[in-house]
A = this chain, B = another copy of it.
Amino acid sequence: MKFRLMTPGPTPVPEETLLELAKPMVYHRTAEFRELLGEVIADMRKVYMTESNVVLPLTASGTGALEASLVNSVPAGKKAICCVAGKFGERWTNIAKAYGIEPIVISVPWGQAVQPEQIEKALKDHPDAVAVCTTLSETSTGIGHDIQAFGKIVAATPAILLVDAVSGLGAMEFRQDAWQVDICATGSQKALMMPPGLAFVSVSPKGWKTIEANPNPRTFYFDLKKARKSIEGNDTPFTPAHTLIKAMRLSLKRIVGEGMENIFTRQDKYARAARAGFQALGLEIFPTQPNTALTVVKSPNGVDSTQVLSKLEKKYGLKLANGQDALKGKILRMTHMGYIDQFDILAGIAGTELVLAEMGVKAEVGAGVAAAQRVFAGK
Protein backbone atom coordinates (compact mmCIF):
# COMPACT_ATOMS: atom_id res chain seq x y z
CA MET A 1 0.00 0.00 0.00
CA LYS A 2 1.19 3.46 -0.83
CA PHE A 3 1.10 5.95 2.04
CA ARG A 4 -0.10 9.52 1.48
CA LEU A 5 0.40 12.06 4.25
CA MET A 6 -2.41 14.62 4.03
CA THR A 7 -2.50 15.98 7.56
CA PRO A 8 -2.31 19.76 7.96
CA GLY A 9 1.24 19.44 9.26
CA PRO A 10 3.56 17.72 9.09
CA THR A 11 3.14 17.60 5.34
CA PRO A 12 5.15 15.64 2.72
CA VAL A 13 8.74 16.74 2.09
CA PRO A 14 10.24 16.77 -1.44
CA GLU A 15 12.63 13.90 -2.10
CA GLU A 16 15.62 16.15 -2.83
CA THR A 17 15.15 17.84 0.54
CA LEU A 18 14.99 14.50 2.33
CA LEU A 19 18.13 13.28 0.58
CA GLU A 20 19.95 16.45 1.63
CA LEU A 21 19.22 15.45 5.23
CA ALA A 22 21.05 12.18 4.63
CA LYS A 23 24.31 13.91 3.71
CA PRO A 24 27.30 13.73 6.07
CA MET A 25 27.45 16.23 8.90
CA VAL A 26 29.23 19.55 8.38
CA TYR A 27 30.38 22.24 10.76
CA HIS A 28 28.19 25.32 11.01
CA ARG A 29 30.63 28.09 11.91
CA THR A 30 32.00 28.39 8.39
CA ALA A 31 31.81 30.85 5.51
CA GLU A 32 29.91 28.21 3.48
CA PHE A 33 27.21 27.81 6.08
CA ARG A 34 26.88 31.55 6.59
CA GLU A 35 26.36 31.98 2.87
CA LEU A 36 23.74 29.24 2.88
CA LEU A 37 21.93 30.78 5.85
CA GLY A 38 21.96 34.12 4.07
CA GLU A 39 20.34 32.49 1.04
CA VAL A 40 17.65 30.84 3.17
CA ILE A 41 16.85 34.14 4.88
CA ALA A 42 16.67 35.94 1.52
CA ASP A 43 14.26 33.31 0.23
CA MET A 44 12.20 33.44 3.40
CA ARG A 45 11.90 37.18 2.89
CA LYS A 46 10.33 36.43 -0.50
CA VAL A 47 7.93 33.98 1.14
CA TYR A 48 6.95 36.59 3.73
CA MET A 49 6.62 39.11 0.89
CA THR A 50 8.72 41.66 2.67
CA GLU A 51 11.45 43.83 1.25
CA SER A 52 13.35 44.81 4.30
CA ASN A 53 12.00 43.19 7.47
CA VAL A 54 14.44 41.29 9.64
CA VAL A 55 13.83 37.55 9.28
CA LEU A 56 15.24 35.38 12.06
CA PRO A 57 15.62 31.59 12.21
CA LEU A 58 14.89 29.79 15.48
CA THR A 59 15.63 26.17 16.37
CA ALA A 60 12.21 25.32 17.79
CA SER A 61 8.76 24.36 16.67
CA GLY A 62 6.19 26.98 15.73
CA THR A 63 5.10 27.60 19.32
CA GLY A 64 8.64 28.74 20.11
CA ALA A 65 8.30 31.40 17.42
CA LEU A 66 4.94 32.52 18.85
CA GLU A 67 6.54 32.81 22.29
CA ALA A 68 9.47 34.77 20.84
CA SER A 69 7.09 37.16 19.06
CA LEU A 70 4.98 37.90 22.12
CA VAL A 71 7.56 37.88 24.89
CA ASN A 72 10.03 40.14 23.14
CA SER A 73 7.42 42.75 22.34
CA VAL A 74 4.92 42.87 25.21
CA PRO A 75 6.21 43.57 28.74
CA ALA A 76 4.78 41.68 31.71
CA GLY A 77 1.77 43.51 33.14
CA LYS A 78 0.83 44.99 29.76
CA LYS A 79 -2.05 44.00 27.52
CA ALA A 80 -2.15 41.84 24.41
CA ILE A 81 -5.41 41.46 22.49
CA CYS A 82 -5.69 37.77 21.59
CA CYS A 83 -8.00 36.62 18.79
CA VAL A 84 -9.22 33.15 19.67
CA ALA A 85 -11.01 31.17 16.97
CA GLY A 86 -9.57 27.76 17.88
CA LYS A 87 -6.72 25.88 19.47
CA PHE A 88 -3.96 28.06 18.08
CA GLY A 89 -5.64 31.30 19.03
CA GLU A 90 -5.85 29.90 22.55
CA ARG A 91 -2.12 29.37 22.47
CA TRP A 92 -1.51 33.13 22.26
CA THR A 93 -3.61 33.55 25.39
CA ASN A 94 -1.75 30.81 27.22
CA ILE A 95 1.66 32.20 26.34
CA ALA A 96 0.54 35.65 27.51
CA LYS A 97 -0.62 34.25 30.85
CA ALA A 98 2.60 32.30 31.41
CA TYR A 99 4.58 35.52 31.04
CA GLY A 100 2.33 37.73 33.15
CA ILE A 101 0.97 39.56 30.10
CA GLU A 102 -2.72 40.45 30.37
CA PRO A 103 -4.63 38.79 27.53
CA ILE A 104 -7.69 40.66 26.25
CA VAL A 105 -9.55 37.82 24.59
CA ILE A 106 -11.71 38.16 21.49
CA SER A 107 -13.36 34.80 21.23
CA VAL A 108 -15.58 33.30 18.54
CA PRO A 109 -17.02 29.78 18.38
CA TRP A 110 -14.74 27.21 16.73
CA GLY A 111 -15.43 27.23 13.02
CA GLN A 112 -15.98 30.99 12.87
CA ALA A 113 -13.50 33.79 12.26
CA VAL A 114 -12.77 36.91 14.30
CA GLN A 115 -14.08 39.93 12.40
CA PRO A 116 -12.18 43.20 11.82
CA GLU A 117 -14.83 45.17 13.75
CA GLN A 118 -14.11 43.08 16.84
CA ILE A 119 -10.46 44.09 16.71
CA GLU A 120 -11.40 47.71 16.14
CA LYS A 121 -13.64 47.64 19.21
CA ALA A 122 -11.06 45.88 21.38
CA LEU A 123 -8.43 48.48 20.45
CA LYS A 124 -10.87 51.26 21.33
CA ASP A 125 -11.70 49.63 24.66
CA HIS A 126 -8.01 48.99 25.35
CA PRO A 127 -5.99 51.79 23.77
CA ASP A 128 -3.07 50.72 25.98
CA ALA A 129 -2.85 47.27 24.35
CA VAL A 130 0.70 46.70 23.08
CA ALA A 131 -0.14 44.00 20.56
CA VAL A 132 -2.93 42.27 18.69
CA CYS A 133 -2.27 38.54 18.32
CA THR A 134 -3.96 36.70 15.49
CA THR A 135 -3.80 33.52 13.45
CA LEU A 136 -3.56 33.38 9.65
CA SER A 137 -4.88 29.84 9.29
CA GLU A 138 -6.54 28.40 12.37
CA THR A 139 -5.60 24.80 11.56
CA SER A 140 -7.87 23.36 14.23
CA THR A 141 -10.98 24.57 12.38
CA GLY A 142 -9.82 25.51 8.88
CA ILE A 143 -10.86 29.16 9.08
CA GLY A 144 -8.69 31.92 7.64
CA HIS A 145 -8.54 35.41 9.09
CA ASP A 146 -8.70 38.61 7.07
CA ILE A 147 -5.20 39.70 8.05
CA GLN A 148 -5.21 42.48 5.47
CA ALA A 149 -8.21 44.11 7.18
CA PHE A 150 -6.68 43.53 10.63
CA GLY A 151 -3.46 45.17 9.44
CA LYS A 152 -5.23 48.34 8.34
CA ILE A 153 -6.92 48.70 11.71
CA VAL A 154 -3.86 47.97 13.85
CA ALA A 155 -1.55 50.15 11.74
CA ALA A 156 -3.66 53.17 12.67
CA THR A 157 -2.91 52.61 16.37
CA PRO A 158 0.30 52.39 18.42
CA ALA A 159 -0.27 48.62 18.81
CA ILE A 160 1.55 46.08 16.68
CA LEU A 161 0.04 43.16 14.79
CA LEU A 162 1.37 39.68 15.56
CA VAL A 163 0.38 36.90 13.18
CA ASP A 164 0.73 33.19 13.78
CA ALA A 165 1.28 31.98 10.23
CA VAL A 166 2.73 28.63 11.25
CA SER A 167 0.08 26.94 9.20
CA GLY A 168 -0.49 28.95 6.10
CA LEU A 169 2.62 30.94 5.25
CA GLY A 170 3.75 29.79 1.83
CA ALA A 171 0.27 28.57 0.88
CA MET A 172 -2.33 31.23 1.72
CA GLU A 173 -2.13 34.73 0.37
CA PHE A 174 -0.03 36.72 2.81
CA ARG A 175 1.87 39.94 2.16
CA GLN A 176 3.70 41.14 5.21
CA ASP A 177 4.71 44.57 3.94
CA ALA A 178 1.50 45.39 2.06
CA TRP A 179 -0.72 44.12 4.87
CA GLN A 180 1.29 45.93 7.59
CA VAL A 181 1.99 42.89 9.74
CA ASP A 182 4.59 43.67 12.40
CA ILE A 183 5.70 40.26 13.59
CA CYS A 184 4.93 37.09 11.71
CA ALA A 185 5.87 33.68 13.14
CA THR A 186 6.01 30.45 11.20
CA GLY A 187 7.24 26.87 11.38
CA SER A 188 8.96 24.61 8.86
CA GLN A 189 6.58 21.64 8.73
CA LYS A 190 3.53 23.04 6.96
CA ALA A 191 3.57 24.85 3.61
CA LEU A 192 7.36 25.19 3.70
CA MET A 193 7.88 21.51 2.78
CA MET A 194 10.15 20.61 5.66
CA PRO A 195 10.19 18.37 8.72
CA PRO A 196 9.38 20.15 11.99
CA GLY A 197 12.21 21.67 14.03
CA LEU A 198 12.77 25.10 12.49
CA ALA A 199 10.79 28.27 13.07
CA PHE A 200 11.06 31.82 11.79
CA VAL A 201 9.95 35.28 12.81
CA SER A 202 9.87 38.31 10.56
CA VAL A 203 9.83 41.70 12.27
CA SER A 204 8.87 45.07 10.78
CA PRO A 205 10.47 48.41 11.75
CA LYS A 206 7.42 49.20 13.92
CA GLY A 207 7.77 45.76 15.49
CA TRP A 208 11.41 46.48 16.33
CA LYS A 209 10.50 49.78 17.96
CA THR A 210 8.09 47.95 20.25
CA ILE A 211 10.68 45.23 20.99
CA GLU A 212 13.30 47.85 21.78
CA ALA A 213 10.88 49.70 24.07
CA ASN A 214 10.37 46.54 26.15
CA PRO A 215 12.60 47.30 29.12
CA ASN A 216 13.14 43.82 30.46
CA PRO A 217 11.88 40.92 28.36
CA ARG A 218 12.16 37.62 30.23
CA THR A 219 13.80 35.62 27.51
CA PHE A 220 17.20 34.28 26.59
CA TYR A 221 16.95 31.45 24.07
CA PHE A 222 14.29 33.39 22.16
CA ASP A 223 15.90 36.83 22.55
CA LEU A 224 15.18 38.43 19.17
CA LYS A 225 17.54 41.36 19.70
CA LYS A 226 20.42 38.93 20.12
CA ALA A 227 19.24 36.89 17.13
CA ARG A 228 19.10 40.07 15.04
CA LYS A 229 22.68 40.95 15.94
CA SER A 230 23.82 37.47 14.89
CA ILE A 231 21.87 37.38 11.64
CA GLU A 232 23.61 40.54 10.51
CA GLY A 233 26.64 38.26 10.09
CA ASN A 234 24.46 35.39 8.78
CA ASP A 235 24.93 33.63 12.09
CA THR A 236 22.80 32.46 15.03
CA PRO A 237 23.42 33.03 18.76
CA PHE A 238 23.30 29.28 19.50
CA THR A 239 23.97 26.12 17.51
CA PRO A 240 21.12 26.04 14.98
CA ALA A 241 19.52 22.90 13.55
CA HIS A 242 21.91 23.50 10.67
CA THR A 243 21.15 20.34 8.70
CA LEU A 244 17.49 21.37 8.61
CA ILE A 245 18.50 24.83 7.38
CA LYS A 246 20.68 23.23 4.71
CA ALA A 247 17.80 21.03 3.55
CA MET A 248 15.30 23.87 3.72
CA ARG A 249 17.33 25.72 1.13
CA LEU A 250 16.14 23.16 -1.42
CA SER A 251 12.47 23.32 -0.42
CA LEU A 252 12.64 27.10 -0.58
CA LYS A 253 14.11 26.96 -4.09
CA ARG A 254 11.00 25.04 -5.12
CA ILE A 255 8.68 27.56 -3.46
CA VAL A 256 10.46 30.70 -4.63
CA GLY A 257 10.92 29.11 -8.05
CA GLU A 258 7.18 28.74 -8.46
CA GLY A 259 6.64 32.26 -7.15
CA MET A 260 4.28 33.39 -4.43
CA GLU A 261 1.62 34.82 -6.76
CA ASN A 262 1.45 31.50 -8.64
CA ILE A 263 1.26 29.60 -5.37
CA PHE A 264 -1.62 31.76 -4.12
CA THR A 265 -3.57 31.14 -7.35
CA ARG A 266 -2.85 27.42 -7.32
CA GLN A 267 -3.73 27.03 -3.64
CA ASP A 268 -6.97 28.86 -4.21
CA LYS A 269 -7.85 26.41 -6.97
CA TYR A 270 -6.85 23.44 -4.79
CA ALA A 271 -9.08 24.70 -1.99
CA ARG A 272 -12.03 25.26 -4.30
CA ALA A 273 -11.56 21.79 -5.80
CA ALA A 274 -11.36 20.14 -2.39
CA ARG A 275 -14.46 21.93 -1.17
CA ALA A 276 -16.38 21.10 -4.35
CA GLY A 277 -15.31 17.46 -4.09
CA PHE A 278 -16.30 17.01 -0.47
CA GLN A 279 -19.55 18.91 -0.95
CA ALA A 280 -20.44 16.63 -3.87
CA LEU A 281 -20.10 13.77 -1.36
CA GLY A 282 -22.69 15.51 0.77
CA LEU A 283 -20.17 16.69 3.34
CA GLU A 284 -20.59 20.14 4.81
CA ILE A 285 -17.67 22.58 5.00
CA PHE A 286 -16.99 23.23 8.71
CA PRO A 287 -15.46 26.74 8.75
CA THR A 288 -17.66 29.70 7.83
CA GLN A 289 -14.62 31.48 6.37
CA PRO A 290 -12.44 28.68 4.95
CA ASN A 291 -8.79 29.16 4.06
CA THR A 292 -6.71 27.76 1.22
CA ALA A 293 -4.19 25.77 3.26
CA LEU A 294 -6.51 22.98 4.35
CA THR A 295 -10.10 21.86 3.99
CA VAL A 296 -12.15 20.91 7.01
CA VAL A 297 -15.47 19.12 6.61
CA LYS A 298 -18.07 17.87 9.06
CA SER A 299 -18.46 14.14 9.42
CA PRO A 300 -21.85 13.01 8.01
CA ASN A 301 -24.67 12.84 10.53
CA GLY A 302 -24.26 9.95 12.93
CA VAL A 303 -20.81 9.01 11.62
CA ASP A 304 -17.76 9.24 13.89
CA SER A 305 -14.98 10.83 11.83
CA THR A 306 -12.45 8.74 13.77
CA GLN A 307 -13.91 5.68 12.05
CA VAL A 308 -13.74 7.25 8.60
CA LEU A 309 -10.14 8.33 9.20
CA SER A 310 -9.14 4.90 10.43
CA LYS A 311 -10.57 3.23 7.30
CA LEU A 312 -8.93 5.83 5.05
CA GLU A 313 -5.57 5.05 6.58
CA LYS A 314 -5.82 1.28 6.92
CA LYS A 315 -7.40 0.46 3.60
CA TYR A 316 -6.17 3.29 1.39
CA GLY A 317 -2.98 4.65 2.98
CA LEU A 318 -4.52 8.11 3.21
CA LYS A 319 -3.60 9.93 6.41
CA LEU A 320 -6.01 12.81 7.05
CA ALA A 321 -6.43 14.43 10.46
CA ASN A 322 -9.13 14.32 13.07
CA GLY A 323 -10.57 17.25 15.00
CA GLN A 324 -8.81 18.33 18.18
CA ASP A 325 -10.32 18.64 21.66
CA ALA A 326 -14.13 19.03 21.42
CA LEU A 327 -14.07 18.52 17.64
CA LYS A 328 -12.58 15.01 17.85
CA GLY A 329 -14.77 12.56 15.97
CA LYS A 330 -16.76 15.39 14.39
CA ILE A 331 -14.60 16.65 11.51
CA LEU A 332 -12.05 15.56 8.92
CA ARG A 333 -9.11 17.81 8.06
CA MET A 334 -7.17 17.48 4.80
CA THR A 335 -4.17 19.61 3.90
CA HIS A 336 -3.46 20.98 0.48
CA MET A 337 -0.40 22.98 1.37
CA GLY A 338 3.24 22.20 0.75
CA TYR A 339 4.40 19.31 -1.40
CA ILE A 340 0.87 18.25 -2.37
CA ASP A 341 -0.51 18.38 -5.88
CA GLN A 342 -3.94 18.20 -7.49
CA PHE A 343 -3.79 14.43 -7.84
CA ASP A 344 -3.08 14.01 -4.14
CA ILE A 345 -6.20 16.05 -3.47
CA LEU A 346 -8.11 13.87 -5.90
CA ALA A 347 -6.83 10.81 -4.02
CA GLY A 348 -8.04 12.28 -0.73
CA ILE A 349 -11.53 12.88 -2.09
CA ALA A 350 -11.62 9.54 -3.91
CA GLY A 351 -10.64 7.68 -0.74
CA THR A 352 -13.26 9.47 1.31
CA GLU A 353 -15.84 8.68 -1.37
CA LEU A 354 -14.95 4.97 -1.29
CA VAL A 355 -14.94 4.76 2.50
CA LEU A 356 -18.29 6.52 2.81
CA ALA A 357 -19.75 4.17 0.17
CA GLU A 358 -18.37 1.15 2.05
CA MET A 359 -19.90 2.46 5.26
CA GLY A 360 -23.24 2.81 3.50
CA VAL A 361 -23.28 6.55 4.06
CA LYS A 362 -22.96 7.64 0.47
CA ALA A 363 -24.18 5.60 -2.46
CA GLU A 364 -23.29 7.51 -5.62
CA VAL A 365 -19.63 6.93 -6.41
CA GLY A 366 -17.69 9.31 -8.68
CA ALA A 367 -19.49 12.54 -7.87
CA GLY A 368 -16.74 13.79 -5.54
CA VAL A 369 -13.79 13.27 -7.86
CA ALA A 370 -15.77 14.61 -10.82
CA ALA A 371 -16.65 17.80 -8.98
CA ALA A 372 -13.03 18.39 -7.95
CA GLN A 373 -11.82 17.57 -11.43
CA ARG A 374 -14.16 20.18 -12.91
CA VAL A 375 -12.52 22.85 -10.74
CA PHE A 376 -9.05 21.68 -11.79
CA ALA A 377 -10.19 21.94 -15.41
CA GLY A 378 -11.29 25.51 -14.75
CA LYS A 379 -14.94 24.72 -15.30
Residues of B within 8 A of A223 (CB): 98
A96 to chain B, nearest CB (A): 9
CB of A66 to closest CB in B, whole Å:
8
| A287 vs chain B, min Cβ distance (A) | 21
* A83 to B25 Cα, complex, angstroms: 31
Instruction: Confirm or deny: A78 has a beta carbon within 8 angstroms of a beta carbon on chain B.
Output: no
What is the chain B residue whose CB lies nearest that of A21? B21
Residues 99-113 of chain A, each 1 if its beta carbon lies under 8 Å from chain B, else 0: 110000000000000
Contact flags A44-77 to B (C-beta < 8 A → 1, else 0): 0000000000000001111110010000000010
In the complex, whether A5 has a CB less than 8 A from a CB of chain B is yes
How many interface residues does chain A have, given as a range?
Answer: 35 or more
> In the complex the two chains form, what is the Cα distance from A21 to B187 in whole Å?
18
Contact call A243/B196, Cβ cutoff below 8 A: yes
**This protein's copies in its complex:** 2
Q: Interface SS of chain A: helix, strand, loop or mixed?
A: loop
Residues of the B chain whose Cβ atoms lie less than 8 Å from the Cβ of A10: 25-28, 239, 242
Judge whether A94 is part of the interface by a CB distance below 8 angstroms. Answer: yes
Asked if A36 is at the interface of the complex by the 8 Å CB criterion, the answer is: no
The 10 closest A-B pairs by CB, nearest first: A197-B241, A22-B22, A98-B220, A21-B21, A195-B243, A63-B238, A218-B218, A18-B22, A61-B239, A95-B220
New A-B contacts (11) at CB < 8 Å, excluding given A11-B25, A18-B22:
A5-B25, A5-B26, A25-B195, A61-B238, A62-B239, A63-B220, A63-B221, A63-B238, A189-B239, A197-B243, A241-B241
